[in-house]
């Protein structure tokens, strides 16, 4: 992905996130961002796991929890980088342009019980970071230049399962006491990413779960869940600002995709979609694919909002600084 002419060269890596997206641009402030990314490395759960489910776009099982492309897929397309291969996929992978460490049902915090008990993946954020470090060591052993890691985009798309697995167990008030631990773990991961400075992550704020099980608002969103997400994003924003102050070589930009998804659920018709809590045969017309994960249509709207810059803090349009590719 090439920046527009006249942009200053990068000094470090860039870290972005998908929901709440946080873009950390090294060196210059957003107004002078440079987009010459050599690779993308993603950490996350099923919302960004690219490695089988049938896909509208791919026309075959693609390993995505959606009918088509995810937000991370649209971001890689816009930046001119091929779709990411899963790190755990041993056959047919290509890591020339990055790797995806995300797995289904992953969490920020390491689960203290067996996967057979809770269904939570053992590949927590800390484990994925460890895999990334091992990956880097192996890459450097094969004589690749270390600069690839200093000129890459890092995305963290994880934490939804921390909410869903704990909220029902301890309630809204109990879970809110747990939020600082999740935020601290994310901030620590950002600081510890190999070869980069800052980082990011995402939250799915509105999941159209079955009525009667949870406290739902008029849009079918879980009230206690959404309240916890609102508080979580405030804590995350504050933590990222503190993290930014300790990372002289990078600039962190926060993107509120929480607001994007709320807009889609509250006014779906305005965006040519509808809301359902069940799997649908025509996902191109809906926000949710299976009651939990977003459709390709919704993912594209989220990615477009991110690229447009209106949900970024500070606000700026990536297209003003980067030669973005079409994501049709």
Positions annotated as catalytic residues are 46, 290, 293
Nearest to 45 by CA among 220, 197, 204: 204
Q: What secondary structure letter does DSSP report for 219? A: T
Q: How far apart (Å, rounded) are the C-alpha atoms in residues 78 and 305?
A: 12
pTM of the predicted protein model: 0.77
Rounded Cα gap, residues 220 and 218, in angstroms: 6
* pLDDT value for 167: 66
- Radius of gyration (Cα) for the chain, nearest Å? 18
Q: Is 188 left (phi over 0), alpha (psi -120 to 50) or beta?
A: alpha
**Which pLDDT belongs to residue 17?**
40
Per-range mean pLDDT, top range of 139-148, 164-173, 235-244, 286-295: 235-244
Q: In this structure, are residues 51 and 230 in contact, taking their beta carbons and an 8 Å threshold?
A: no
**Domain spans of the chain, in order of start:** 14-206+223-260
- What φ, ψ does residue 106 adopt, rounded to 5°? -80, 160
Confidence at residue 131, expressed as pLDDT on a 0 to 100 scale: 94
Give the pLDDT confidence of 147-206 residue by residue, as tens digits. Answer: 688 777 788 888 777 777 766 677 777 778 888 988 898 888 878 876 554 333 333 333
Q: What are phi and psi of 24, to 5 degrees?
A: -110, 110
More confident of the two residues 63 and 272: 272
Query: For residue 108, is pLDDT > 70?
Result: yes
Question: pLDDT above 70 covers what percent of the chain?
Answer: 61
pLDDT tens-place string over residues 251-288: 667 777 777 877 887 777 776 665 555 555 565 656 66
Reported as half-sphere exposure (CB side, CA atoms, 13 A), residue 46 has a value of: 20
d(CA 272, CA 287): 9
DSSP 8-state secondary structure symbol assigned to residue 82:
P
pLDDT band of 217, cuts 50, 70, 90: low
Question: Among 224-233, 270-279, 297-306, which range has the highest average pLDDT?
Answer: 297-306
User: Please, are residues 256 and 313 in contact by the beta-carbon 8 Å criterion?
Assistant: yes
* Range name among 64-68, 179-183, 217-221 with the lowest pLDDT average: 217-221
Contact 213, 168 (CB under 8 A): no
Q: What distance in Å separates the CA atoms of residue 40 and residue 152, rounded to the nearest whole number?
A: 5
């Amino acid at each position: 992905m090439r920046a527009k002419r006249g942009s200053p060269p990068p000094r470090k890596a860039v870290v972005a996130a998908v929901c709440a997206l946080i873009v950390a641009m090294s060196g210059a402030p957003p107004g002078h961002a440079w987009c010459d990314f050599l690779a993308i490395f993603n950490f996350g759960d099923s919302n960004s796991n690219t490695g089988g489910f049938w896909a509208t776009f791919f026309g075959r099982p693609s390993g995505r929890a959606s009918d088509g492309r995810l937000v991370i897929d649209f971001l890689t397309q816009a930046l001119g980088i091929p779709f990411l291969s899963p790190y755990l996929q041993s056959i047919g992978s290509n890591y020339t342009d990055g790797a995806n460490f995300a797995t289904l049902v992953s969490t920020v915090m390491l689960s203290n019980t067996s996967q057979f008990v809770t269904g939570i993946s053992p590949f927590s954020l800390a484990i994925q970071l460890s895999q990334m470090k091992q990956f880097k060591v192996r890459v450097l052993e094969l004589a690749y230049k270390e600069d690839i890691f200093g000129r890459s985009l890092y995305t963290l798309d994880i934490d939804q399962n921390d909410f869903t697995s704990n909220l029902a167990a301890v309630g809204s008030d109990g879970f809110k006491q747990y939020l600082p631990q999740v935020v601290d773990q994310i901030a620590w991961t950002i600081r510890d990413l190999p070869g980069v400075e800052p980082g990011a992550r995402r939250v799915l704020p509105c999941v159209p779960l079955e009525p009667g099980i949870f406290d739902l608002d008029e849009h079918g969103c879980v009230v206690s869940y959404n309240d916890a997400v609102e508080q979580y994003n405030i804590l995350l924003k504050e933590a990222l600002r503190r993290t930014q102050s300790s990372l002289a070589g990078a600039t962190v930009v926060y993107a509120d995709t929480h607001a994007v998804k709320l807009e889609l659920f509250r006014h779906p018709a305005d965006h040519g979609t509808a809301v359902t809590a069940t799997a649908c045969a025509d996902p191109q017309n809906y926000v949710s694919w299976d009651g939990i994960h977003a459709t390709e249509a919704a993912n594209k709207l989220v990615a477009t909002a991110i690229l447009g810059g209106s949900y970024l803090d500070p606000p700026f349009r990536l297209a003003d600084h980067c030669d973005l590719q079409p994501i049709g």
